[in-house]
Amino acid sequence: MAYDRNNIFARIIRGEIPCSTVYEDDHVLAFKDIEPKRNIHVLVIPKGPYEDMTAFAAQASEAEIVAYIRAIGLVAEKLGVDVDGYRLIANTGANGHQEVPHLHVHIVGGEPVGPMLKAK
Ligand code: AMP
């Protein structure tokens, strides 16, 4: 599927829509989720045009991949959730219930986040 250059996160990267920035470098942007599901809820996105982790893993440069993984750790430290723990979530595609078609990892924490998934 072709990357949608007008998805909401692409527009945030271009500065067309505001966000509450937590961290930014050449390759990565992290900002607060607009509808936080836990006390701390931050989204970490690559600035490049990757719709999900599958595309990112296959197409991103090594510099982008290194920057993204390092940024996730840095943001967790910056938020202080590394001390008591946190959850990373990367919803992917229809079955993964991905709403925004630009790769994003949710960092949720600041309180217990509960079991990983409800039983079926
Ligand atoms: P997902 O279901 O993994 O695609 O999650 C998309 C997330 O993006 C949701 O948690 C939304 O609350 C969040 N979101 C949507 N629009 C914005 C926005 N303009 N700024 C910050 N977060 C947003």
Q: What is the DSSP string of 45-92?
A: EESS--SSHHHHHHHS-HHHHHHHHHHHHHHHHHHTHHHH-EEEE---
- Chunked mean pLDDT (size 10), the chain, 120 residues: 94 98 98 98 98 98 98 98 98 97 98 92
Q: What is the pLDDT of residue 118?
A: 85
Q: Which residue has the tokens 């296959």?
A: 58
34 lines ligand 1 (CB under 6 A): yes
Rounded distance, CA 49 to CA 103, Å? Answer: 8
Catalytic positions, please?
A: 104
Which residue's alpha carbon is nearest to atom 16 within ligand 1? 34
Task: Write down the pTM of the prediction.
Answer: 0.98
> What pLDDT does 32 receive?
98
Task: Report which ligand 1 atom has the smallest distance to the Cα of 37.
Answer: 10
Can you give the pLDDT at residue 42?
A: 99
* pLDDT digits 0-9 by tens, 46-62: 999 999 999 999 999 99
- For 8-109, the fitting CATH number among 3.30.428.10, 3.20.20.70, 3.40.50.2300, 3.40.50.280 is 3.30.428.10
How confident is the model at residue 85, as a pLDDT? 98
Domain boundaries, the chain: 8-109
Cα(120) to centroid(ligand 1), Å: 25
CA within 13 Å, CB half, 5: 1
Which mutation among 21, 32, 33, 38 tests ligand 1's pocket best, with the greatest number of atoms within 8 A of CB?
33
pLDDT at 112: 97
Position 120 scores a pLDDT of 85
Q: Are 69 and 30 in contact (CB under 8 A)?
A: no
